[in-house]
Each structure stands twice: as C-alpha cells, then as structure tokens.
Structure 1
Amino acid sequence: MRIMSCTLGLALVCMFASVSAAADGKELYVRCQGCHGQDGSKLLKSKAEGDVLKALTGYKAKTYGGEKKTVMENLVKNLSDEDMQALAKYISTL
C-alpha cells in the first residue's frame, strides 16, 4: 500500500509539473506590452487567433513583416510553437 501511495504521489507531481510548464500566453505577452500596449490597443486589439499565429510564425521564419520586422524577428526567434500558440490565443482575447 505504501509503495502504491508513493507511486501515485510521484505521478501526480509529474503531472502538475508538466501542466505548470505549459506556455502561458498572458505571461508571454508581458514582453509585447512595451510596443503593443497592456491591452493590445496598438495594432493587436481584436485580431483573430489564426492571424496572430500566422504573423508570429512568419516573423520566426523571416517571411513576414514590415518596417519593424527585425524587432519582431528577434522577439519571436526563441519562442516554441507551443509558446506562439498560447500567445496568439491570449492576444485574440484582448
């Protein structure tokens, strides 16, 4: 019984650790606020999740953007696909 309890406890710890490691769009957006505003009012407000994700992946691939694209390319280059999806989802709620 004791071994089963320890195994179950370890499984729960691992499960919660993986959940807490998941990308948090709101947390990631903190880096965006300087240019886009806390509420996304500068170019992002009311953007659809798919449009935001397309832009983020394009910036990362260096195939998207206008005059400020170098800034965006540098900001997204280290984001994972999961990070970009979480960020796009969050931005679409602004």
Structure 2
Amino acid sequence: MKKIVLGTLVCSVAAFAAVNLGACKGCHGQNWEKKALGTSKVVANMTKAEVTAALKGYKAGTYGGAQKGLMKAQVAKYSDADLAGTGVGK
C-alpha cells in the first residue's frame, strides 16, 4: 500500500513540475509549425538540444530577440530539468 501511495505522489509531483506545453502551442502551433507572433523560429525544425538551449537561454535572458521578455516570463517558473525534459524537437 505504501508503494502505491508513494508512486501516486511521485507521479503527481512530476505532472505539476512538467512544462505546460498546451500554453506553448497557443503561439507555436499544435505541431510546432508556426512562427510565434510571426517572428520566432519554427520549433518543429529545431533539434531537442536547440529547443532546450533556447528555453534555458530565455530563462537566463541570454537568448532571443524582440520577444525575449515574453518568453522569459513564460519559462521563469520552470527548472532547467523541466525545460530539458519537454521532449520537444526532432
């Protein structure tokens, strides 16, 4: 019984810690096919490493152009591990 409760708790914490990709898809498209606000790179064309580097760069304020402030606010609440674990990219 303890294992079931602990397993459920771990899964719940992981679910809340994960990046809300639904919010991202509002601007980047359901299949990552859009240039967000007509200016970003198309995420579908980026590798997982490029996506992770971009997200971490937005968080640090070292990456991005005109929309840097918008993206920094979107990723600020996530840990680097959360950002690396999105699974987005090819």
Compute the TM-score of the two structures, normalised by the length of structure 2: 0.78
- Name which of structure 1's ranges 45-54 and 10-19 shifts more when overlaid on structure 2: 10-19
Gaps of at least 5 residues in structure 2 are 35-41
Partner residue, 2:22: 30
| TM-fit CA distance, 1:24 | 4.3
Aligned to 1:20: 12
Gaps of 5+ in 1: 1-8
Q: How does 1:8-87 map to 2 (within 5 A)?
A: 9-22=1-14, 23-24=17-18, 28-42=20-34, 43-87=42-86
Amino acid at match of 1:84: L
Give the CA deviation at 1:12.
2.3
**Which gives a bigger RCO, structure 1 or 2 (Cα 8 Å, sep 6+)?**
1
Aligned residues: 81
SS of the equivalent of 1:39 reads coil
Say which one has the larger Rg.
1
Give the fraction of aligned pairs with identical amino acids, expressed as a percent: 35
Residue 89 of structure 2 is aligned to residue 92 of structure 1? yes
RMSD: 1.7
Aligned to 1:5: none
Structure 1 runs of 4+ off > 6 angstroms? none
Gap change, CA 1:68 and 1:31, over 3 Å in 2? same
